[in-house]
A and B are shown apart, each in its own frame.
Chain A
Amino acid sequence: MAKVLYIDYERCIGCRACVIGCEECSGHDHLSRMFVDELNPGETVAASPTPCMHCVTPACAESCPVQAIAIADDGTVLSASLEKCIGCKNCTYACPFGIPRVDDVKKVMYKCDMCYDRTSKGRPPMCASVCPTDTIRFVDEHEIKAEPPKEVQFKWDFGGTVIETRTVIGMPDTDTNRYGFREGDGVQS
């Protein structure tokens, strides 16, 4: 059974271990494919680690004029083939999540390939291995989508175009929480 990334934003402490781990992963050329955005700097440490969402119908691959971005057997959307990529940046404009980046020196696109060297052999990707708070987890796709431990989202509506992703995001509990702190027993001002 295919395994996917499950990201629970509520657990993230913004340590950026995933970014360092991604840089160190072999084949990643010291360019991180994981991006950690701070949601409200100064107010809170809440952050959102964002790897590739690995869409079922990836806009980056479909927009690529030279078919450099391929989908592997298990559904992982791979980074552009170095031989094929022409650095046209179509994928960076097509991706609704803003994941693909282009190395302006080499003129080659790079994006998260879920550490395909590792995941194709059953090992978890580097970001999931190094995450100290289990924010990023490498779990069974069917299990996390059918019986999630909390509210999750893996279908995204972009103005009528629904995109289903393999990466599953755990939704923050916004009813009783604010920016990851419990109302009342968080940091008191």
Chain B
Amino acid sequence: MKKIEGFLRKLSFNIRRDKELELNRRGFIASSLSLMGVLFVSSTPLMVLSKNREEEAHDSEVFIVNEKDIAVGQSVSFYYPDENDSAILVRISEKEYRAYNSKCTHLMCPVYWEKDTGKLTCPCHNGFFNVEDGSVLAGPPPRALPSIKLKFKGKKIYAVGITQAQH
């Protein structure tokens, strides 16, 4: 009990002159600034890691659709890399295709292709994505949709890889 009281006294009363500078106003500011510095320095490995994010390669080639079965301006939904990851393929011109993971990055509602406006739309909270690169156009989603790499083999379209979006 005496020890606890002594500890609390030491903590709350800054009255010893030899220890005065340990926690006065300047000491407090200096210690909080140095704590911020330590946190900043310790977060640099994470910054490097996030810059070095590699494309997730998957060995599996998943057949999506034949080229003749999808008209320009139409979309097809599929699953990649496994059955729990819904994805959407959009043919935006004669030779251009885009494929994205169709879970909205906000709350994972399924995103659908709206042909009239030319945007990928999430109906839950009015999130809109650019069909060209999956970036956010409007609404609450915090980051772009993960894009899926495509491969063409004899008029057939395969999904071969997925790239997590950069912030």
Contact = CB atoms under 8 A, between A and B. Distances in A.
Contacts of B24: 67
Contacts of A69: 15
A62 interface: yes
B9 A72 contact: no
Interface size class of A (residues with CB under 8 A): 10 to 19
A78 B17 contact: yes
B17 A57 contact: no
B16 A70 contact: yes
Nearest to A68: B15
A67 B14 contact: yes
A58 interface: yes
Main secondary structure of the interface of A (DSSP, over half): loop
Which of B9, B18, B24 has the most C-beta atoms of chain A within 10 angstroms of its own C-beta? Answer: B18
Contact of A58 (B15, B18, B20): B15
Interface residues of B, number: 9
A71 interface: yes
A67 B12 CA distance: 11
Interface string B14-49: 111110100010000000000000000000000000
B14 A71 contact: no
Contact of B17 (A58, A62, A64, A72): A72
A70 B16 CA distance: 6
Interface in A95-116: none
A62 B16 contact: no
B13 interface: yes
A63 to B, nearest CB: 9
A67 B21 CA distance: 12
A61 interface: yes
Contacts of B18: 72-73
B17 A61 contact: no
B13 to A, nearest CB: 5
Contact of B20 (A62, A64, A70): A70
Contacts of B13: 61-62, 67
A58 B16 CA distance: 11
Nearest to B16: A71
Contact of B9 (A57, A64, A70, A78): A57
Contacts of A64: 15
A126 to B, nearest CB: 21
A78 B15 CA distance: 10
Contacts of B15: 58, 61-62, 64, 67, 69-71
A73 B20 CA distance: 11
Interface in B62-97: none
Contacts of A58: 15
A155 B9 CA distance: 19
A57 B8 CA distance: 12
Nearest first, the 9 A-B pairs at minimum CB distance are A70-B17, A61-B15, A62-B13, A73-B18, A71-B16, A72-B17, A71-B15, A67-B14, A70-B15
16 contacts: A57-B9, A58-B15, A61-B15, A62-B9, A62-B15, A67-B13, A67-B14, A67-B15, A67-B24, A70-B15, A70-B17, A70-B20, A72-B17, A72-B18, A73-B17, A73-B18
Interface of B: 9, 13-18, 20, 24
Interface of A: 57-58, 61-62, 64, 67, 69-73, 78
